[in-house]
Chain A
């Protein structure tokens, strides 16, 4: 296969070289200042905002002809968003793509971190809609920048504590804020808080791109990432009462899916590649034989 071959008329990975250099410089600064949001001159991409244009630009800037790319949306490789981004890079760069986490050198994700432990040879690129964790407390960017500069995170703690007062626990389950290397408070993108512990001391480099908001931020490998909490109300990752109905896993993030129009439902792994791999290894969930093919997927 000729990996240099791309659809005629495209720059490799779509972006022109000047734009790539600008994004690359922003990525280098983001790595040098973990958790800090580096402004960058986000470009129009041939897909609407909300489709991950920030993540797409980061991937386009780092991608090389020797990479193997995986794209997931909510843990799945086969959703419209994931498929269209994967096709976009196949067409504009000719790089190999894969659905297997272990085979990928770059994984672009919307809203999940793969269940399989990432390695030093991988880069995880997040599509971020709202990069500013303080946005809901203070809408003005000039103000939030100053709050980060002064490490003024009191309002964020007040908001989390109001959760406790109202609900008896911290109710935030997605985009649960983290503190990076005891310095910057960072939005981990709308990943479920289940995934927050995977960000800490991760062997892979993690890059975050927000297209509409024009920010790039990063977590170098082996960076300390702590979910915000209180001594009397420590952070607790989501726990499930069920095992995956297909593969029997008890350690994964589960989605509730509707199985028929009579209200049948089951809980299955959100990471479809991980679930299929477990079934291929012989793990069997309670409802494996009964699941419709649309849910059980190609592995069955």
Chain B
């Protein structure tokens, strides 16, 4: 394995990546540009890799979905660049990385937080091929809730057809629940637990 740094400029690249995720969660449905880490081993996407390296460390157990776990380079690369424990149980994971968005696991299997500490929950980083306000050939969802003036529309590919129902069940747990950071080819958009999601067209 190369001993190269993941970010060319660790301090400022991590800050910019964090700020993109912060803005994405603060304004659900908006696409926030992220410079991907092109050195990340497939099938880990460069943008998902940047988010993981910016936010994860030895304090945050990571869970990998089947496709990422089947690629040994991915676990080794993430362990090296973040120091995080890889292969945590979903219910113990601070972050879950999902390459196969179409078979997104049951959200209720991840850490939901407690009524007293709802922050003790998993953040899912979900790789999608298309993401943005005007992506074509993709699912369109209508979003409302904190961070959104009126409503917003997001176009996204790869997510399961019943995603709106699953996110509605997650939203109903508020203040418990998980938050989704969608990692597209050029940036991130987020669906925090506060967002009400309805399917516009499949």
- Listed in ascending order, the chain A residues whose CB lies under 8 Å from chain B are 4, 11-12, 17-18, 20-22, 24-34, 36, 38-39, 61-65, 120, 145-146, 148-150, 181, 183-184, 201, 203, 205, 218-224
Interface SS of chain A: helix, strand, loop or mixed? mixed
CB <8 Å contact, B22 and A62:
yes
Question: Do A31 and B119 form a contact, CB below 8 Å, given A64-B16, A65-B12?
Answer: no
> Is B25's CB within 8 Å of the partner chain A?
yes
Stretch at the interface among B41-49, B55-63, B100-108, B134-142: B55-63
Q: 10 tightest CB-CB pairs across the interface, nearest first?
A: A220-B147, A29-B119, A149-B115, A32-B192, A223-B146, A220-B146, A222-B149, A149-B116, A205-B26, A32-B179
Contacts of B38 in A (CB 8 A): none
Contacts of A205 in B (CB 8 A): 22-23, 26
| Distance from B92 Cβ to chain A, minimum over Cβ atoms (Å) | 16
CB <8 Å contact, A36 and B149:
no
CB <8 Å contact, A183 and B174:
yes
Question: Do A145 and B116 form a contact, CB below 8 Å, given A24-B55, A31-B192, A63-B15?
Answer: yes
| Distance from A21 Cβ to chain B, minimum over Cβ atoms (Å) | 6
> Is B21's CB within 8 Å of the partner chain A?
yes
CB <8 Å contact, A221 and B147:
yes
B15 in complex: contacting residue of A38, A64, A181, A223, CB < 8 Å: A64
| Distance from A144 Cβ to chain B, minimum over Cβ atoms (Å) | 10
Bound form: Cα–Cα A29–B174 in Å: 13
> Is B18's CB within 8 Å of the partner chain A?
yes
Contacts of A17 in B (CB 8 A): 10-11, 14
CB <8 Å contact, B60 and A31:
no
Contacts of A27 in B (CB 8 A): 22
Contacts of B192 in A (CB 8 A): 31-32
Interface string of B87-120 (1 = CB under 8 A from A): 0000000100000000000000000001111110
Bound form: Cα–Cα A203–B15 in Å: 22
CB <8 Å contact, A222 and B55:
no
12 contacts between A and B (CB under 8 A): A12-B11, A21-B57, A26-B119, A33-B175, A33-B194, A36-B175, A146-B116, A149-B115, A183-B174, A201-B149, A219-B146, A220-B25
Question: Do A31 and B116 form a contact, CB below 8 Å, given A12-B11, A21-B57, A64-B16?
Answer: no
Which residue from chain B places its CB closest to the CB of A147 in the assembled complex? B116
Contacts of A219 in B (CB 8 A): 146
| Distance from B173 Cβ to chain A, minimum over Cβ atoms (Å) | 11
Contacts of B123 in A (CB 8 A): 28
> Is B166's CB within 8 Å of the partner chain A?
no
Which residue from chain A places its CB closest to the CB of B120 in the assembled complex? A29
| Distance from B135 Cβ to chain A, minimum over Cβ atoms (Å) | 22
| Distance from A4 Cβ to chain B, minimum over Cβ atoms (Å) | 7
CB <8 Å contact, A4 and B12:
yes
Contacts of A29 in B (CB 8 A): 119, 121
